[in-house]
Every structure is written in C-alpha cells, then in structure tokens.
Amino acid sequence: MSREEHGDPLPLRIASLVHAHFNALPAKSKPHILSDGSKEWIPMTGIVAMLSDGILNFSYRSGAKCLSASQIPRCRGLVLHDCHAEILAIRAFNHWLMTECHSILAEEAAGETNPATGSPNPSESKFIRKRDHHVTCEGQCPPFEMQPNVRIYMYCTCAPCGDGSMELCMAAQEDATPWEVVRQNNSGTENSLGDDNLLDGRAHFSLLGVVRRKPARTDAESTRSKSCSDKLALRQVSSLLSWQTSRLLALTENAYLAGLILPEDEISRVACDRAFGKNGRMAALVAQSWPSSSCERSVEYRFRPFQVLSVPAGKVRAMWQFAKPKPTTIRQLADGEMAANGVTPRKSKPGNVSAVWTLAPSNTDKVLLPEKGSKSLPSLCGSKTGLYESIISGVKQGNKASSPTARGASALSRAKMWALLEKITDCEPSGEAEQKTAISSGLSSRSPLGQPRRPAIYDFIKRGPTDEGDSRAARKHAIRHAQEVLKGWAPNTGDESWGLDVLIDTHKRKR
C-alpha cells in the first residue's frame, strides 16, 4: 500500500497490516475461547520492512513462553529457549533475510551467464542487494547488504517485558508504591547485582535500569532468558542481524530498528527513555563506536536509539481481541453484569500455542519452502508464505521439548538456522569463490587437504576467534561493551556443545 492509497499514519498502517495477516491465519494458530466465554490471551509482534515507495514485507510472532534454566542443556540446538513474541519475531525476520539471500544466489546459479563478465546475471530483490565487488575486500566482507530505502519497524500489542514496562507493572498493582528489596550475601552485607542476582521480571520495582530475566509463574523454576527490553536494547548496538545473517549481510545503518510501535496505553515514556533512550541506561555508549570492517563503505557498530511510536488504544482494541485483560477490566467484570447473574468470570490465561509466519522470498520458484505448513497456507491477504509454524514449548506442535528431535525442531532453532547458513554457502556460484570463503569461514567440517576433521561445534562457530579486520570481531566487541553497560547481564549457557549431526534423524518414521 502506498501513501496515496492510504491516509493513515505510518504506525497505524503497520499495525493494521500485521493484524490483517494474523486474522487470516487458520483457527489452530489462534488462542481458544474458554468454556465460560473468556479468551486465552497472547502478545503479538510483527516486524515490517518498509520501502520508501510504501511496499511492506513482514514476519510476525505470537507467544510468551521461555525455558527454565535446567532445560537448556537438553536442547542440543533443537529447542527454542525464548518464545516471547519480540524475540522470535527477530529470529523470524533473520530467517527471512537468509532465505532472501538464498533465493538470489539460487537464481543466479540457475540463470544465464553474462557474456561480458562471465558471471551469472544478477538477481533482484527489493529488500537486499549484492555488494559491489570492489568493496568486498577480496572475500573478507559479507556479499550482501540491505537496500538503502528499507526501514525496519517492530509492532507489539503490549510493551516489552523488563525495564521498558516497569512503570506499567507498578501501575497494575493495587499498591503501586515500589518496595525496597536488598539481597545479602553469606557475610550478611549487601550484595551487588551479579550473575546470581538476575532480577525477576515482575519484582524489585525499586531497582530500575537493570537487566531482568523473563517473568514466569511464581511457582515455576526461574529462567535465565533476559527480558525483551534488555534484548532490544542490545540490538540497538548489534543491529537486528543475527550472527548467521551478519555473515551474509554487511552492517548498514538501516539494519537497525527504526521504530518500536506500541498501543498508546502500553507506553510509559519514562520507562522507554530509561530503557532505550540516549539519556537512559545506555548513555555510556553514545560516544563509542566499533568499525564493522576495513571495507570502503564500512558502517560502524554504535548505539542507535529507535523511535517509540504509538497507535491509538481504541484502534488496537478494535483489531485485537486476544489482549491480556487489564486489571481494571477484570474487576469491572467481577462487579458487573456477570456477577449480577451469579456467574463468576474465569481468570483468563495465556495461550500455549505460538504462530510464526514470514513472507516468501522474492524468487520462490528457485528456493524450496522449508516447512510443511507452507504448502497448506499459500497466501495471507495476498502475501505468499515463506515460513509457517505452530510452536509449543520451543518445538513444533506435536513434538516434545523433553526429547527433542530434528523433525520437531523449528526452522528458527539454533541448529536449523546454522544448517540454513551452510545451505546458502553451498549455493554460492563457483564464479564467486571469494564470497563463498567469506560466508563459510569457520563452517567447513573438512581440512584444506580434504581430510575429515573434528566436526564443528556451535559455540566455536558462533563465538570462535576472529581476525581484527573481520566484521565479526567488531560485532563481538560491540556486544561485549553493551552487555557491560547493561548492568547484571548473565549468559544463558548450556546449549552450545553440539554440531550439525543433531539434525540427522535416527528415528524411523511410522508408515
């Protein structure tokens, strides 16, 4: 849709697009209506890549689950740790970027050769483009970058958990006065925030501007997944590109989030300024930068704050029937018509099924759509599907997270995303060997002499040593400094020591 075709403000246009696509999903991907007539609630997030001519593309995610700390070592790259909507929307967006790169390479590999250059004719995408050969530093830089007219926006139906919503959490309490909680160590003295003091998401309202873990039921085991506010703040430094995608796409200014769009009643300006603003908890990073590479058009990693944009609350209520009931709404129901009729409204609960959807890549005839669900969902509101999954507890619906398998792993899991990067590397045309080297550096499981060597391990591939001139080195430095500024950042470790052999399916299929 273009500006001429639609006069609504940009935030409302983006929100309407996300809701329209969600509404077109099958009923199995949506929350259920409970026996007393109340609905399950879910948060939803959509990421929209918008072009200057108004063309929109997006991935979205609904859900609010994450794994406890004790479950992480059993994942083996096959189970999603954090299924909060904002985080998996980012993963889905990166998956789409990777398939977009794959579609370009696949079309070039299958296309005609340009007689003048001897190279495959270039494929086109409205969202990404091949970099000029002279700025790829002889294979040391990623071969793609985002088109300069692309801007990325995130729309959420509720405020991200953590520091960006603490004032909203306080206001929802019967007594909104912050209470003082002092943690003490074994010697009885006050203990500073550290790895063992990662704060619960909904507690310790007196401590603001610090890292928090994902909220969970009070009787559930604690997670070590950082809050969505904290992870979004980190992305203001590292960009939206994941470690896999950053091997394909060079850093550009528009690889950062341009705006976070929320319903107006889900915005606390004080909280957002503190969590995401240049004068808030990230202020120490404003003057710092880390050059992404020695390329001619190198863009520096640095803190890039996004706008926080609003959509009228009434507009969102009209579009979104699966919102979490406000405390005032619950009290009104209890004291109102249902109570007068002798009916006690059942407390609503969050839905346990999450839906993931992304747009198909530009050249779908050259790339096989990765997941079974795509075949039964050819389009939503005229948009072809690239990825469609229903997820429960971090694995595809119908599978068990307690005994993960390759078949049950989401396309957004660590193992599947790494495997997709390997597939894209193999797709690189032979005439572009130096770019293939840049993409696959550290991925190969064979030695230069062609002899088998120890299979690559995920932790080494993601965090292994890099040359200082490598773009990955700057990304690592930027992330480390940002985590130091975000007080109390504790790693969620335990799911790193595995290789791509976890995707070998050893279970026989039933006939």
Whole-angstrom distance, CA of residue 72 vs CA of residue 79:
8
pLDDT for position 289: 94
pLDDT for position 65: 77
Confidence of residue 1 (pLDDT cuts 50, 70, 90): very low
**pLDDT averaged over every residue in the chain:** 80
Confidence of residue 115 (pLDDT cuts 50, 70, 90): low
Residue 75, token pair as written in the block: 């994942």
Answer yes or no: are the C-beta atoms of 98 and 104 closer than 8 Å. Answer: no
Which residues, including other chains, have CB under 8 Å from residue 192's CB and lie 6 or more apart?
Answer: none
Q: Is the pLDDT of residue 19 over 70?
A: yes
Whole-angstrom distance, CA of residue 478 vs CA of residue 301:
7
pLDDT for position 469: 60
Buried-exposed string 136-169: b where 16+ CB fall within 10 A, e elsewhere: bbeebbbbbbbeeebbbbbbbbbbbbbbbbbbeb
Which range (268-272, 303-307, 369-373) has the least confidence? 369-373
Answer yes or no: are the C-beta atoms of 287 and 135 closer than 8 Å. Answer: no
Answer yes or no: are the C-beta atoms of 110 and 257 closer than 8 Å. Answer: no
pLDDT for position 490: 86
Whole-angstrom distance, CA of residue 419 vs CA of residue 82:
20
pLDDT for position 207: 82
For 379-437, the pLDDT digits (tens) are 888 888 999 999 998 999 999 988 999 999 999 999 999 999 999 987 655 444 444 44
pLDDT for position 407: 93
pLDDT for position 467: 63
pLDDT for position 64: 62
Bigger pLDDT: 37 vs 4: 37
| Helical (H) or strand (E) element with 368 | none
Bigger pLDDT: 295 vs 133: 295
Confidence of residue 510 (pLDDT cuts 50, 70, 90): low
Answer yes or no: are the C-beta atoms of 302 and 235 closer than 8 Å. Answer: no
β pairing state of 257-263 and 150-156: parallel
Residue 159, token pair as written in the block: 């405020």
Whole-angstrom distance, CA of residue 453 vs CA of residue 510:
35
pLDDT for position 192: 41
Answer yes or no: are the C-beta atoms of 267 and 245 closer than 8 Å. Answer: no
Rounded to the nearest angstrom, the gap between the alpha carbon of residue 464 and the centroid of all alpha carbons in its chain is: 22
For 66-114, the pLDDT digits (tens) are 888 889 999 999 999 999 999 989 999 999 999 999 999 888 877 655 5
pLDDT for position 175: 67
Share of the chain above pLDDT 70, in %: 70
Q: Is the pLDDT of residue 454 over 50?
A: no
Q: Is 431 exposed, middle or buried (0-12, 13-18, 19+ CB in 10 A)?
A: middle
* 138 catalytically annotated: no
Answer yes or no: are the C-beta atoms of 408 and 400 closer than 8 Å. Answer: yes
How many other CB atoms are there within 10 angstroms of residue 26's CB atom?
A: 12
What mean pLDDT is predicted for residues 226-254?
96
pLDDT for position 187: 43
Place of tokens 């992304």: 358
Whole-angstrom distance, CA of residue 140 vs CA of residue 379:
38
Which range has the top average pLDDT, 62-66, 467-471, 504-508?
504-508
Which residues, including other chains, have CB under 8 Å from residue 308's CB and lie 6 or more apart?
Answer: 259, 260, 262, 267, 269, 272, 276
Bigger pLDDT: 355 vs 446: 355
pLDDT for position 358: 92
pLDDT for position 350: 82
pLDDT for position 193: 41
* Cα angle, residue 288 at apex, residues 285 and 289 outer, rounded to 5°: 125
pLDDT for position 451: 39
What mean pLDDT is predicted for residues 262-267?
97
Bigger pLDDT: 241 vs 491: 241
* Given 5, 86, 180, 221, the catalytic residue: 86
Which residues, including other chains, have CB under 8 Å from residue 334's CB and lie 6 or more apart?
Answer: 344, 345
Q: Is the pLDDT of residue 134 over 60?
A: no
Rounded to 5 degrees, φ, ψ at 73 are -65, -20
What mean pLDDT is predicted for residues 242-255?
95
Q: Is the pLDDT of residue 226 over 80?
A: yes
What residue ranges do the domains of the chain occupy? 10-503
Of 266, 269, 264, 290, the C-alpha closest to 280 is 269
Bigger pLDDT: 336 vs 145: 145
Task: Tell me the C-alpha to C-alpha distance, in Å, between residue 309 and each of 88, 195, 265, 322.
Answer: 21, 33, 12, 21
Rounded to the nearest angstrom, the gap between the alpha carbon of residue 468 and the centroid of all alpha carbons in its chain is: 27
Confidence of residue 496 (pLDDT cuts 50, 70, 90): very high
pLDDT for position 461: 86
Write the single-letter amino acid at 336. Answer: G
Bigger pLDDT: 397 vs 119: 397
Rounded to 5 degrees, φ, ψ at 352 are -105, -5
Bigger pLDDT: 190 vs 298: 298
How many other CB atoms are there within 10 angstroms of residue 108's CB atom?
A: 23
Answer yes or no: are the C-beta atoms of 490 and 249 closer than 8 Å. Answer: no
Rounded to the nearest angstrom, the gap between the alpha carbon of residue 277 and the centroid of all alpha carbons in its chain is: 20
Whole-angstrom distance, CA of residue 103 vs CA of residue 124:
10
Record the pTM: 0.86
Bigger pLDDT: 218 vs 167: 167
For 186-224, the pLDDT digits (tens) are 444 344 444 445 666 666 777 889 898 887 555 667 778
pLDDT for position 430: 46
Share of the chain above pLDDT 90, in %: 45
pLDDT for position 12: 96
Whole-angstrom distance, CA of residue 5 vs CA of residue 248:
35
Confidence of residue 38 (pLDDT cuts 50, 70, 90): confident
Residue 23, token pair as written in the block: 């509404």
Of 142, 157, 103, 110, the C-alpha closest to 125 is 103
Task: Tell me the C-alpha to C-alpha distance, in Å, between residue 9 and each of 45, 249, 259.
Answer: 19, 30, 13
